């Protein structure tokens, strides 16, 4: 990959990576840092990365950096005994998008990641498996569980409404 | 051969009759036999009553087909949403949903779980992530950089050695004044009377100047011209009420070495004789150092030098600026960030100049 292709990659994938990370960790600064780190790693390995596979490389790097961060944060949370946020159904939701955002937050980290890869980036089970170091069956199971959880949450909100 | 009917085989005929297996002649024979045996006719009638009618029992085979959709409904919904169903399954499940309103409503909830990316969320600092094209450095540029680096190194070493040793003494010996008036420092008036005295003296000077108009020569003209900045200087010093301390021995010695051009010196002495209170004093060390140009070996190269702590600082700053510019240029050419930093070591009381790259490191003491 050359510099021109590298810069094209920035234009093509930086937004998607940022969205994906931001939806997962909901921290803009950290999401930006992760995107920067990922492109820094790509630049260091520019000679070894094929432009055809750069998207996968970037998302894999960003995903694993994010997972490391989440693990670190969780250890911190455990140590500090911070209560996990609980979302009440009594909140007012203006639209489906908002409901989905809340529902997304309630998913497990892995379920959220795989379903975001699936819906945001349109990745296949195999591609998600490659990025997340899971096998295809596991990816499928996580996606099915995520869908059921999301549907269950939406259903409960709609019933209340 | 036609069979004969009698009381021993009539049941066989009766059954065939009921099943419709008798031909016309056999049916006539049966009727003749029944007319002769009316008791058997009653028996035949009884047999006719026992006829089972077909029950209308239907089995809902479609319910068998719906069983997987019912039991694994949720999975089928997700599979349909994800496009995981085979074509036949897809058709059957779609038909099932169309026939089942509750199921269809549930599937519609699944459809809502499909997330869509929020394209308003964008990464704003893309330009910061981008990189410049790696340049191929031509040979002449590499050699140029090499020469520049050598000059920089020599400059650094020279600067350090001169600064460390006899810079101050040598430079003091080589002091040369171009503008003597600026270098004459007048002791400030310590009170207003003294200031008035000074003003009065200036008036006398002006009067005397008018008196000698006829015999005035170019030398005096120069004196007057030179006296103007002196007056301004006096005013400034007195107004500020600045107190000038006695100079140190070294500074006095340095002042003694000042050699004024003869013409200016003569004119100056006239003024000094009238004023009396004017003394040659050094205002302060820092001010003096600013104003005294010092000549060193650099003059041979057409470069200026100043002999004082502050001047040295300036030189070091200049060195830092040159080094910074050179290092920045090298970084730009190499496409890498090269760090240049100044570090002050309190133990050795020296300032070190460091720059580092992945491939090259350099450090020099610049005091």
Domain membership flag for residue B19? yes
Query: Which residues of A are less than 8 Å from B118 in CB distance?
Result: 19, 97
Closest chain A residue to the Cα of B84, Cα to Cα: A140
Secondary structure (DSSP) of B251-262: HHHHHHT----H
Determine the topology of domain A86-161 in CATH. Arc Repressor Mutant, subunit A (1.10.10)
Comparing B4-18, B129-143, B173-187, which segment has the lowest mean pLDDT? B173-187
Domain range spanning residue B16?
A: 10-49
Domain membership flag for residue B341? yes
More confident residue, A6 or A94: A6
Taking residues B119-140, what's their average pLDDT? 79
Cβ neighbors of B335 (< 8 A, separation 6 or more) are B131, B132, B134, B135
Q: From B264, B291, B318, give the residue that closes a domain.
A: B291
pLDDT for residue A121: 92
Query: Which residues of B are less than 8 Å from A17 in CB distance?
Result: 123
B145 with B43, same domain?
Answer: no
- The tally of domains found in chain B comes to 4
pLDDT at B244 over 60: no
Query: ipTM surpassing 0.90, yes or no?
Result: no
Comparing B92-101, B128-137, B248-257, B348-357, which segment has the lowest mean pLDDT? B248-257
Taking residues A54-63, what's their average pLDDT? 95
The answer to whether A157 contacts chain B (CB < 8 Å) is no
Task: Quote the CA–CA distance of B299 and B305 in Å, as a whole number.
Answer: 7
Given pLDDT bands bounded at 50, 70 and 90, which one contains residue B335? low
pLDDT digits (tens, 9 = 90+) for B345-354: 676 666 666 6
**The two domains A1-84 and A86-161 share their CATH topology (first three levels equal):** no
Decide: helix, strand or coil at residue B306. coil
Domain membership flag for residue B133? no
Query: Which residues of B are less than 8 Å from A145 in CB distance?
Result: none
B140 to chain A, closest Cα gap in Å: 25
A 6-25 → B contacts, CB under 8 A? 6-7, 10-11, 14-19, 22
Comparing A97-101, A113-117, A134-138, B216-220, which segment has the lowest mean pLDDT? B216-220
Closest chain B residue to the Cα of A96, Cα to Cα: B112
pLDDT at A57 over 90: yes
Given pLDDT bands bounded at 50, 70 and 90, which one contains residue A29? very high
pLDDT at A39 over 90: yes
B238 with B202, same domain?
Answer: yes
B70 with B149, same domain?
Answer: no
A 114-133 → B contacts, CB under 8 A? 115-116, 118-120
Domain membership flag for residue B221? yes
In chain A, what percentage of residues exceed pLDDT 90?
A: 68
Q: Break chain A into its structural domains and give their ranges.
A: 1-84, 86-161
B188 with B279, same domain?
Answer: yes
B187 with B285, same domain?
Answer: yes
A 23-52 → B contacts, CB under 8 A? 32, 35-36, 39, 43
B189 with B283, same domain?
Answer: yes
The answer to whether B99 contacts chain A (CB < 8 Å) is no
User: Residue B23 burial (CB < 10 Å; 0-12/13-18/19+)?
Assistant: exposed
Percentages helix, strand, coil for chain A (3-state, rounded to 5) are 80, 0, 20
pLDDT for residue A132: 94
B251 with B327, same domain?
Answer: no
Taking residues A51-64, what's their average pLDDT? 95
Say yes or no: domain A1-84 is CATH 1.10.1740: yes
Domain membership flag for residue B119? no
- HSE, side-chain direction, 13 A CA sphere, residue A52: 0
More confident residue, B223 or A87: B223
Domain membership flag for residue B336? yes
Domain membership flag for residue B2? no
Domain membership flag for residue B129? no
Question: For tokens 């996580």, what's the residue?
Answer: A142
Given pLDDT bands bounded at 50, 70 and 90, which one contains residue A119? very high
């Amino acid at each position: 990959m050359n510099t021109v292709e590298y810069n094209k990659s920035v234009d093509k994938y930086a937004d998607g990576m940022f969205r994906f990370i931001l939806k997962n960790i909901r921290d803009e600064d950290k999401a930006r840092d992760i995107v920067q780190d990922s492109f820094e790693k790509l630049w260091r390995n520019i000679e070894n990365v094929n432009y055809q596979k750069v998207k996968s490389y970037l998302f894999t790097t960003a995903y694993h950096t994010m997972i490391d961060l989440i693990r670190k944060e969780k250890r911190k949370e455990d140590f500090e005994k911070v209560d996990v946020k609980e979302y009440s159904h009594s909140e007012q939701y203006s639209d489906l998008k908002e409901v989905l955002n809340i529902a997304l937050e309630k998913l497990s980290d892995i379920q959220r990641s795989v379903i975001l890869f699936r819906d945001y980036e349109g990745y296949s089970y195999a591609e998600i498996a490659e990025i997340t170091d899971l096998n295809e069956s596991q990816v499928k199971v996580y996606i099915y569980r995520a869908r059921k959880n999301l549907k269950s949450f939406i259903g409960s909100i709609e019933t209340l409404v | 051969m036609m069979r004969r009917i009698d009381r021993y085989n009539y049941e066989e005929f009766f059954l065939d009759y009921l099943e419709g297996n008798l031909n016309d002649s056999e049916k006539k024979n049966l009727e003749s036999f029944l007319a002769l045996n009316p008791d058997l006719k009653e028996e035949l009638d009884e047999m006719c009553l026992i006829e089972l009618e077909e029950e209308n029992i239907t089995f809902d085979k479609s319910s068998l087909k719906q069983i997987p959709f019912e039991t694994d409904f949720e999975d089928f919904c997700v599979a349909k949403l994800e496009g995981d169903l085979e074509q036949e399954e897809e058709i059957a499940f779609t038909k099932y949903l169309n026939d089942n309103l509750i199921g269809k409503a549930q599937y519609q909830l699944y459809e809502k779980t499909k997330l869509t990316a929020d394209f308003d969320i964008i990464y704003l600092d893309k330009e910061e992530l981008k990189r410049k094209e790696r340049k191929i450095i031509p040979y002449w540029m590499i050699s140029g950089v090499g020469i520049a680096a050598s000059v920089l190194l020599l400059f650094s070493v020279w600067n350090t050695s001169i600064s460390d040793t006899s810079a101050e003494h040598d430079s003091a010996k080589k002091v040369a004044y171009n503008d003597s008036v600026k270098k004459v420092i007048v002791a400030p008036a310590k009170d207003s009377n003294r200031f008035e005295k000074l003003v009065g003296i200036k008036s006398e000077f002006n009067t005397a100047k008018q008196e000698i108009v006829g015999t005035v020569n170019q030398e005096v003209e120069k004196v007057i011209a030179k006296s103007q900045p002196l007056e301004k200087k006096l005013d400034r010093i007195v107004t500020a009420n600045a107190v000038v301390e006695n100079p140190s021995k070294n500074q006095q010695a340095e002042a003694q070495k000042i050699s004024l051009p003869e013409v200016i010196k003569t004119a100056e002495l006239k003024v000094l004789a009238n004023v009396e209170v004017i003394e040659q004093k050094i205002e302060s060390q820092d001010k003096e150092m600013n104003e005294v140009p010092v000549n060193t070996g650099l003059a041979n190269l057409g470069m200026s030098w100043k002999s004082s702590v502050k001047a040295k600082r300036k030189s070091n700053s200049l060195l830092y600026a040159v080094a910074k510019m050179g290092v920045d240029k090298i970084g730009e050419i190499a496409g890498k960030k090269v760090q240049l930093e100044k570090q002050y070591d309190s133990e050795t009381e020296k300032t070190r100049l460091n720059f580092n790259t992945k491939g090259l490191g350099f450090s020099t003491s610049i005091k």
